[in-house]
Every structure is written in structure tokens, then in C-alpha cells.
Amino acid sequence: GAGVSQSPSNKVTEKGKDVELRCDPISGHTALYWYRQSLGQGLEFLIYFQGNSAPDKSGLPSDRFSAERTGGSVSTLTIQRTQQEDSAVYLCASSAPTGANTGELFFGEGSRLTVL
Amino acid sequence: GNSVTQMEGPVTLSEEAFLTINCTYTATGYPSLFWYVQYPGEGLQLLLKATKADDKGSNKGFEATYRKETTSFHLEKGSVQVSDSAVYFCALKKRQTGANNLFFGTGTRLTVIP
């Protein structure tokens, strides 16, 4: 697609349920990033993929959070046993090989998660 | 550690007013600095950047100068337009990292009224 696509755009779930958030990066972008934006907070880095491997997953807040990327393209962020503090907008970004190390990320519109 | 502190909003200005959004940073070494913008209904996009001290990034009439002595990267525009209404994020990237992991500020919402 023309841009980074995320789904669902909105998700309301009950505490304790699992959720999956999907990111489809720009075609050809080898690097993929997940960020979280909570109310009143800056964007919090979660995990970074280069191809299908994750050299940096230091931002995942707990072992309830996991992410995978397949085929060097689509990524899924999974949150197990959701808690109310997981409510946030989850942003995905990708960057081109030629843009590596330049700081230019292309963001999706985000998935807004609300845990009741 | 690495962090970015930016001016809290929201900021409301009349069209053609002068804009300043303050941003200061804390980082080890010499980071690269960025301003990203998020227009309503869209994803964040890079507005401008500066990679070393005294560099000035500019785009769409916006400017920001990398000031090492004050660890600042304030965003300015001489005459804002209604179409500039958006949320602006200051960010830094550690120079030595091979990835594009960015540290973002909390964002400042700008509303420009006709």
C-alpha cells in the first residue's frame, strides 16, 4: 500500500482478554517499529524489527506483550490478559533501507485500544 | 538517560501569528534531533531534522536550530496558517545506534484560528 496500515483502528476489550494488533508497513521497508502513546505521555518505544528479527525489544513493558513479524512484512503485536493500564494508542512505523539511521520513520494512524 | 521535554499545550494562535514551541533534550553524546507533525486523521510524519550542533532544519516555513549549549531544538514559524493546526512532537535519536529508535516528547497541540 501507499502508507503504513494498521488494524483495527479501534478496539474495545474486557480486562483479561487477549488482543492482536496488526501492522502492514510500506512495501520494501525493512525496519518496523512499535510505539505506544498513553494519555498525556510521549511516544514510548516498544520493539524494533529488522527483517523478521527483533534486535531491540527492550521497550516491551511486560511478558504479556509480544510481537512477531513474518515474511519481512506484516507484524502483529499481541497483548495477553489485558489490563486497564494497557489502554493507549499503539503506533507502528517503518523505515526504508536507504533511510536507515536517518531518523525518518513513516507512521500509521495507530490502533486505539481501550480496556474496560 | 535520553529524554525530550517539550512545551505543554494546547497552543492556540490567530492566523499569521508567530509560533514557538520549546523543546529541550537530555542525551549522552551528540544526538540527532527531529520535529514530527501529526495532522488530524493522519500518522506522524517527519517535519524537519538536524544532525549536529548549529544545524538548522527547515521545511514548510518551519525552522529549528540545534543548540548544544542550551540543549534545545525549538520549533518556530513566522506566520502560521490554519492548515498548520496539528500535534507537533520533538524527538531525538542517539547517533551511535544503528536503528531509528527515537525518543519522543509528549507532543504539543497547535490550533490556528482564522
- Of A91-95, B78-82, B83-87, B97-101, the least confident: B97-101
H/E stretch holding A91: strand A88-95
Q: Does B40 touch chain A (CB under 8 A)?
A: no
Nearest C-alpha in A relative to B37: A107
Q: Per this entry, what is the length of chain A? A: 116
Work out the pLDDT band at B3, boundaries 50, 70, 90. Answer: confident
CA distances, A66 to each of A23, A76, A112 (Å)? 14, 8, 17
> In whole angstroms, what is the distance from residue A92 CA to residue A77 CA?
10
Contact A107, B34 (CB under 8 A): no
Residue the block writes with cell 509560533: B19
* Structure confidence at residue A26 (pLDDT): 93
Query: Under an 8 A CB cutoff, do A31 and B99 touch?
Result: yes
What does the alpha-carbon distance between residue A22 and residue A68 come to, in Å, rounded to a whole number? 10
User: Which backbone phi and psi does A84 adopt, to 5 degrees?
Assistant: -60, -30
Residue B105 has pLDDT above 80, yes or no: yes
CB contact under 8 A, A110 and B43: yes
Residues A45 and B101 sit within 8 Å (Cβ to Cβ): yes
| Banded model confidence at residue B41, pLDDT cuts 50, 70, 90 | confident
Picking from B49, B5, B9, B8, the residue whose alpha carbon sits closest to that of residue B27 is B5
pLDDT for B101: 75
Strand, helix or coil at B44? coil
**pLDDT of the residue at A1:** 53
pLDDT of B36 over the 70 cut: yes
Contact check, Cβ <8 Å, A45/B34: no
The predicted structure's pLDDT at residue A8: 97
Report percent pLDDT > 90 for chain A.
67
Nearest CB to B102: which of A3, A103, A110? Answer: A103
Rounded CA-CA distance B84/A23 in Å is 28
Check pLDDT > 80 for residue B98.
Answer: no
Element (H, E) at A73: none
Task: Answer yes or no: do A33 and B100 touch at CB < 8 A.
Answer: yes
pLDDT confidence tier of residue B91, bands split at 50, 70 and 90: very high
- Using CA atoms, how far apart are residues A49 and B39, in angstroms rounded to an integer? 26
Report which of residues A67 and B28 the model is more confident about.
Answer: A67
Q: What is the pLDDT of residue B95?
A: 66
Alpha carbon of A35: minimum distance to chain B alpha carbons (Å): 10
Which cell numbers in the block locate residue A96? 526504508
Cα gap B13→B84, rounded to integer Å = 10
Q: Name beta bridge partners: B6.
A: B23
Res B99: pLDDT: 61
Q: Which residue of B has its CA nearest to A57?
A: B101
Q: In the prediction, which pLDDT does A36 show? A: 95
* Contact of A44 with A38, CB cutoff 8 Å: yes
Q: Do A106 and B4 touch (CB under 8 A)?
A: no
Q: What residues of chain B lie within 8 A of the CB of A100, using their CB?
A: 98-100
Distance in angstroms between the alpha carbons of the first and the last residue of chain A:
33
Q: Which of A31, A42, A95 sits opposite B4 (nearest CB)?
A: A42
Alpha-carbon span A36 to A58, nearest angstrom: 13
